[in-house]
Amino acid sequence: MKRRALLATAIVGLFATAGVVDWAVGTTLIAREPRQSLMAPSDLPVERVVLEQTGAPELVGWAAERKGSCGAIVLLHGRGANRLATVQRAKMLFDAGYSVVLFDLSGHGESGGTVQGFGYSEGQDAARILAYARQRFLGQKIGALGSSLGAASFVFATPQALADAYVLEQLYATLRETTARRMPFYALRSLQADILLAQMSVRLGFGADDVRPVDRIGKIGKPLMLLAGGSDPFIDRGQMAALHNAAPASELVWFEGAGHVDLLRYDESRYRKAVLPFLSKNICQASHV
């Protein structure tokens, strides 16, 4: 009996420890970094913009208006980054004749918010930023270019807020799949992901079953380009195929050999050859029709 009691105590202790560790990992996943003060680039004529809305996080960004612009592009960064990560893309687009809008998503950079929500809650941010761009660049076509978290944010902004064309980089199909691919023990990855994500509904007010861009991407109904790394460890070809099938009119561009990295820096030539003609056709030329 004594041995059984000790065993039972050990098992309870083990599960309690596992629960504490799981909760701590979850905290790390959703916690934001300290708010930052970002310096504007010297070679892009941006002005600081702050979007305030009662009951919603303050959103901070930059806008650069190009005289004679043939459209405006909204750029959103990836998880754990801020708008500085989109500056190189913004410069490329500004030089190509577009006005640009760069924002920190909530929980990032200079923007308010206390958590990171995997793109689901940031969909509200994307909708507000797109609405600002529509108002600021009245009568012009608006493009949306997002990477990873930013891409998911644009997807979850629909159908309430729509851009006229989308470039979505390294978008995951479902949160469960991409989380599982980050888990350490290969044979138990799905189980580990389920256990880790079980706390979401308590902490964020939505669950992993809600965070499925593959179920929403087909509702966009606008010109759409997907960019993916051929060796991305977190977003495999199966996820990209599912996204492409869900939006059959979309274009899918592979960057062979690329992991979950900045695709513009990885292969600038391929990026330019894919993205600029797509935007020219669907934003720039379309705005002059």
Percent of the chain with pLDDT over 70: 87
Stretch 138-159: mean pLDDT: 95
148-158 as b/e, with b when 16 or more CB fall inside 10 Å?
A: bbbbbbbbbbb
Buried b (16+ CB within 10 A) or exposed e, 39-67: eebeebebeebebeeeeebebbbbbbebe
- Measure the CA–CA gap between 160 and 1, rounded to whole angstroms: 63
User: Could you tell me the CA-to-CA distances from 137 to 49, 70, 73, 214 in Å, in that order?
Assistant: 14, 10, 10, 30
pLDDT in tens, 219-245: 999 999 999 999 999 999 999 999 999
The top-scoring range by mean pLDDT among 33-42, 103-112, 187-196, 202-211 is: 103-112
* Residue 13: pLDDT over 60: no
- pLDDT for 6: 45
Residue 282 has pLDDT above 50, yes or no: yes
- Residue 204, pLDDT score: 81
122-126, 203-207, 249-253, 264-268: least confident range: 203-207
- Sequence-distant (6+) residues with CB within 8 A of 264 are 88, 89, 92, 271
pLDDT in tens, 71-88: 999 999 999 899 999 999
pLDDT at residue number 287? 59
Closest to 209 (Cα-Cα) out of 178, 175, 181: 175
Least confident of 28-32, 101-105, 173-177, 282-286: 28-32
Cβ distance 268 to 276 under 8 Å? no
In one letter, which amino acid is 55?
G
The answer to whether the beta carbons of residues 82 and 108 sit under 8 Å apart is: yes
Long-range contact set of residues 42-48: C-beta below 8 Å, sequence gap at least 24: 43/91, 44/87, 44/90, 44/91, 44/94, 44/100, 46/102
Q: Is the pLDDT reported for residue 51 higher than 80?
A: yes
Write the class of the CATH domain 43-174+211-288: alpha beta
Q: CA–CA separation, 246 vs 216, rounded Å?
A: 8
Of all residues in the chain, the percent with pLDDT exceeding 90 is: 71
pLDDT at 130: 97
Cis peptide before 159 (omega within 30 of 0): yes
pLDDT of residue 60 exceeding 50: yes
From CA 1, how far away is CA 143, in angstroms rounded? 69
Q: If you average pLDDT over every residue of the chain, what do you get?
A: 88
Residue boundaries of the structural domains of the chain: 1-28, 43-174+211-288
